[in-house]
Chains A and B, each alone.
Chain A
Amino acid sequence: MIYIPRWKVLLTIFICGLGIVYSVPNLLNKSTLEYLPESMRPVKLGLDLQGGAHLLLEVDTQKGLVDRLNDHLDALRRGLRSKNIGYLNLKSDGQVITFELRDSSREDDLMAVLSDVENIFEVAQEGNTFQLEFLPREKKELTQSMVRRSIEIVRRRIDEFGTAEPTIQQQGSDRILVQMPGVDDPARVKKLIGKTAKLTFHLVHRDNGKHTSHQTLPSGTRRLKSQDAREGSILIHRRVLLNGERLIDARLAFDRESQKPMVDFRFDNLGGRKFAQITSKYNVQASPTENRLAIVLDDTVLSAPVINTVIRDRGTISGNFTSREANDLALLMRSGALPAPLEIIEERTVGPDLGADSIAAGKMATVVAIILVGLFMILTYSFFGMVANIALVFNIILLFALLSIIQATLTLPGIAGIALTIGMAVDANVLIYERIKEEIRNGKKIVPAVDSGYNNAIATIIDSNLTTLIAAAALFFFGSGPIKGFGVTLALGIMISMFTAITLTRIIVSYWLQWKRPKKLPI
């Protein structure tokens, strides 16, 4: 008689029972689920099944590095000026900063200035020409922190936007994957994510209004387009008086008189002090010629109000906004500026009804697959086919239980993976039954035939399934989201089918043999 230790039998029953318990949440509706403990949750559905938007963003780190270099260029210029060191041709080409020292006797003073940036730049000198290039280590750190900060800001913006359970994660070195279930028109989200949202305050130049665009601009100024169509463009000083980093809050508000939407913002202590300084220096009384403050977001002047009095820590932007625009602007101001531009390089959006259709079709196909394979097995192996079918049903139950426990994401290819596993799951049983048949043909008695059938088939089952698992692992590690889902279900399906064939069907067959003691195997 085939002897199976009692603990093995109990363990198998225990595992199958656990499988039933953990797969049950998948059959329940949302309201019933609330009564279940936290650990019992249904399978997570991929975006292709529940509907939603999938965005892959790339951080333009090259552009970010160029910006950082320009920041350093400005700092260097200030440093040289404050020490009265003469220089020529101070410029950056995006990779390196170059300049010439006017008076070589000031080299020691220059070195003192450069010593501040010695862990950031590699300084090369040729005669009086100096060249500053980011150290590779610094470049790497800058890039990494740029990506980290971008993720942080994208997360803030999306959280503020109020999407349910968004996923935001880094992918590769400079990409960000954003998944937003339930969002089927991501246009507005994309607008919010795509904006760098660099907020700066500048003084409007006194010649604004006099100059037209073809004339040469006064030095240190820029002409920027204005949000207000009536004004067209505005001539501003390049110098940044204050930037958005000092903001602590920005909210949608409405003008008390006109009820027009606007954005209310507040600075932190330091920013407030600076703002007070600026407004006391440039208000109408103190500065009759230049007293307009341009509020600039990503090279567009949002508004350029006249400074009437000294303002401390709060202000308003009253452009020509709709309340939605004002709300989005406040959101962008709150969440801070992106360190580098983001480009959306992949976008996949699935509407919720398509997802529901896919689930329904997937269910249907899976059920048909089970019935067809089940019938086929009964027709081929009669009683033993039934046993294989019990194993098949438990395969599906255990698969869903495992998917639920590890909270894997079920995708549309994942459903195909399940159906494919149904076809392949019976393979282990087929191998065993064919082996038993052979043993009987070779003249063995029933019980030893069954016994050696199982024993001999196991090595084959393990070898053949492990090689398939290698292919499934490759799918998992290199595929994108939906394909990963396929890899997961295929791999789990194979492992579970090995388990049920070796333990569950063996137990059933051995108990059946003890109970019936058949003279001839119905196989």
Chain B
Amino acid sequence: MAFISLNKIPNINFMTFRKVGYALSGLFIFLSFLSYFTKGLNYGIDFRGGYLIEIKTQEKADIAQMRSDLSRLNIGAVNLQEFGSDRDVLIRIESQDDGLSENESQEKVLEKIKLTLGEGITYRRVETVGAKVSQDLVWNGILAALLATVGIAIYIWFRFEWKFGICAVIGLVHDCIVVIGLYSLIAIEFNETEIIAILTTLGYSINDTVVIYDRVRENLRKFKKRSLGHIINLSLNETLSRTILTAGTTLLALFALYFFGGYVIEVFCLPIIFGIIIGTYSSICVVPFLLLLFPEKKTETAGL
């Protein structure tokens, strides 16, 4: 006996809501651009270069004291953050502009910090990213997202029709913009992990879209006389329970990671969680209806 059950096919009239979806997405995109161009992204060390040091103190860390000690070192802006337990501290330092080689300035900075913080501290993680590497990371990230999108478009074009491919790509671009906008809005530190989150979002969102398109294609064959709008609406309803269930299990797993996976994984999961939610939204409320923007070839159309 199943407890959670969607035994009847729902009959939600998505068609009438589609304009709400458009408006909402328009608003999201507008806000995303607004935030992106006014607030910008909070680039982390992967993209800006710099140092990230994770330390563990023996007793409760006195962040305020550490902050004032370190800020006197003349090593640029120092950012301290407690995470996990009250003995774990993350220290972020900007790239040094001291004319020394990457290696020398890192050594200098580390030495200064070790001297200032004194004994009894475990250096659990030290990361240094040079400016050159960070440029490459940005470029690789953009390239990966672009190639994934093109690859997906080509695949859909082969398996479906070209207009399905175009609509899917519009959907992916929408997801990208809104996800990046959200990162900007809530000032998530933008690192290589956020690129992964975007790519994962694309992968997940397209998965949803394809399942719905697949049903649209099938229903187009089955009900040759109905209008495209009607068929999209029917297909959405037929696949709705699957869309929700899969999003549910995926989010369950992600929340498990978020709450039990430790700091690094937590940072990694949050953007993916946002991505999955946005991807699911766009696959249901926006992308299917984009098909309506292309002229129908059918002569007989029955209104919805």
B245 with A479: CB separation less than 8 A = no
* B124 and A474 within 8 A (CB): no
B192-228 vs A, CB cutoff 8 Å, 1 = contact: the mask equals 1101100110111011101100110000000000000
Asked whether B290 is an interface residue with its Cβ less than 8 Å from the other chain, the reply is: no
Report B-chain residues with C-beta under 8 Å of the C-beta of A419: 253-254, 256-257, 261
Number of A-B pairs whose CB atoms are under 8 Å? 242
Closest partner residue, chain B, to A350 (CB atom) = B125
User: Is A434 in contact with B242, judged by CB distance below 8 angstroms?
Assistant: yes
Cα distance, A382 to B259, chains bound together (Å): 27
Query: B2 near A438 (CB under 8 angstroms)?
Result: no
Whether B133 pairs with A56 at a CB distance below 8 angstroms is yes
Q: Given the complex, which residues of B lie within 8 Å of A350, measured CB to CB? A: 124-125
- Chain A residues within 8 Å of B262, by CB: 357-358, 361-362, 365
What sequence of 0s and 1s flags, for each residue 351-370 of chain A, a beta carbon within 8 Å of any chain B beta carbon? 10110011001101110110
In whole Å, how far is A184's beta carbon from the nearest beta carbon of chain B?
Answer: 8
With contact pairs A373-B249, A373-B252 given, residues A351 and B125 touching in the complex (Cβ less than 8 Å)? yes
Contact partner, A347, options B126, B155, B199, B245, Cβ 8 Å: B126
> How many residues from B make CB contacts under 8 Å with A?
78
Q: Which residue of A347, A459, A465, A474 is within 8 Å of B207 (Cβ)?
A: A465
Cβ contact within 8 Å between B9 and A441: yes
Say yes or no: A364-B260 contact (C-beta < 8 A), given A343-B101, A424-B250, A483-B192: yes
In-complex Cβ contact of B124 among A351, A362, A423 (8 A)? A351
Task: Kindly list chain B residues whose C-beta atoms are within 8 Å of the C-beta of A380.
Answer: 2-5, 245
Inter-subunit contact B256/A365 (CB<8 Å) = yes
Stretch at the interface among A17-25, A107-115, A410-418: A410-418
Complex contacts, A412 vs chain B, CB 8 Å: 264-265, 268
Counting chain A CB atoms within 10 Å of each CB, the highest count among B2, B145, B239, B241 belongs to B2
Are B207 and A464 in contact, with the CB atoms below 8 A? yes
Contacts of B143 in A (CB 8 A): 478
B103 touches A344 (CB 8 A): yes
Bound form: Cα–Cα A519–B257 in Å: 40
From known contacts A345-B133, A365-B260, A522-B2, infer whether A467 and B156 are also in contact, taking CB-CB under 8 Å: yes
Residue in A420, A438, A474 whose CB lies within 8 Å of B238: A438
Question: Is the beta-carbon distance between A376 and B249 smaller than 8 angstroms?
Answer: yes
Are A479 and B124 CB-contacts (below 8 A) given A344-B103, A467-B155? Answer: no
Of the residues A185, A190, A470, contact of B152 by C-beta under 8 Å: A470
Most buried by B among A343, A424, A482: A424
The reply to whether A490 and B103 form a contact with Cβ atoms under 8 Å apart is: no
A window 461-484: CB within 8 A of B: 463-475, 477-480, 482-483
Complex Cα spacing A434 to B129, Å: 48
Q: Which residues of B contact A351 (CB under 8 A)?
A: 122-125
A28 within 8 A of B: no
Residue among B123, B241, B252, B259 making CB contact with A423, cutoff 8 Å: B252
**Are A368 and B207 in contact (CB-based, < 8 A)?**
no
**Smallest beta-carbon distance B218→chain A, Å:** 8
Main secondary structure of the interface of B (DSSP, over half): helix
Stretch at the interface among A137-145, A425-433, A445-453: A425-433
Closest B residue to A467 by beta carbon equals: B206
User: Per a CB cutoff under 8 Å, which of B123, B132, B242 touches A431?
Assistant: B242
Q: Do residues B155 and A423 form an inter-chain contact, with CB atoms below 8 A?
A: no
| A424 contacts across to B, CB distance below 8 A | 204, 207, 246, 249-250
CB interface residues, B 38-92, toward A, < 8 Å: 54
- Bound form: Cα–Cα A430–B269 in Å: 23
Docked-complex contact B132 and A345, CB < 8 angstroms: yes
Interface status of B229 (Cβ within 8 A of chain A)? no
Given that A423-B251, A423-B254, A486-B196 are known contacts, is A416 also in contact with B101, CB under 8 Å in the complex? no
- Among A427, A431, A490: residue with most chain B CB under 10 A: A427
Give the distance to chain B from A419, nearest Cβ to Cβ, in Å.
Answer: 5
Bound form: Cα–Cα A419–B252 in Å = 10
B278: CB under 8 A from chain A?
no
B107 CB, nearest partner CB in chain A, Å:
7
* C-alpha spacing A395/B264, complex, angstroms: 25
Q: Is B125's CB under 8 angstroms from A344's CB?
A: no
Contacts of A48 in B (CB 8 A): 264
Report yes or no: B128 in contact with A479, Cβ–Cβ below 8 A. no
Q: Are the CB atoms of B246 and A480 closer together than 8 Å?
A: no
Find A479's partner among B5, B129, B192, B256 (CB 8 Å cutoff). B192
Q: Does A437 contact B (CB under 8 A)?
A: yes
Are the CB atoms of A474 and B145 closer together than 8 Å? yes
Q: How far is the CA of A185 from the CA of B123 in the complex (A)?
A: 9
Counting chain B CB atoms within 10 Å of each CB, which of A187, A358, A430, A438 scores highest?
A: A430
A463 touches B214 (CB 8 A): yes
Contact A354 B253 (CB under 8 A): no
B148: interface (CB < 8 Å)? yes
Contacts of A382 in B (CB 8 A): 1-2
Cα-based distance from A287 to B128 in the complex (angstroms): 53
List of B residues within 8 angstroms of A478 by Cβ: 140-141, 143-144, 147
**A359 (CB) vs chain B CBs: closest residue:** B262
Q: How far is the CA of A468 from the CA of B250 in the complex (A)?
A: 14
Q: For chain A residues 172-216, which have a beta carbon within 8 Å of chain B?
A: 184-185, 187, 190, 194
In contact, B126 and A474 (Cβ under 8 angstroms): no
**Given A346-B128, A379-B4, A380-B4, A463 and B144 contact (CB-CB distance below 8 Å):** no
What are 27 A-B pairs at a CB distance below 8 A? A343-B101, A343-B130, A348-B127, A354-B125, A361-B261, A364-B261, A365-B257, A368-B259, A372-B253, A373-B249, A380-B5, A413-B196, A415-B265, A416-B261, A420-B272, A437-B7, A463-B159, A468-B204, A468-B207, A474-B147, A475-B199, A475-B200, A479-B192, A482-B192, A483-B196, A490-B200, A522-B1
Known: A468-B204, A483-B195. 20 other contacts (CB 8 A): A58-B132, A345-B130, A349-B126, A357-B262, A361-B261, A365-B257, A372-B253, A415-B261, A423-B251, A424-B249, A441-B9, A460-B214, A464-B207, A472-B203, A474-B148, A474-B199, A475-B144, A478-B140, A479-B144, A483-B193
Q: Nearest 8 pairs between A and B by C-beta? A: A471-B203, A423-B253, A361-B262, A423-B250, A478-B144, A345-B130, A474-B148, A365-B261
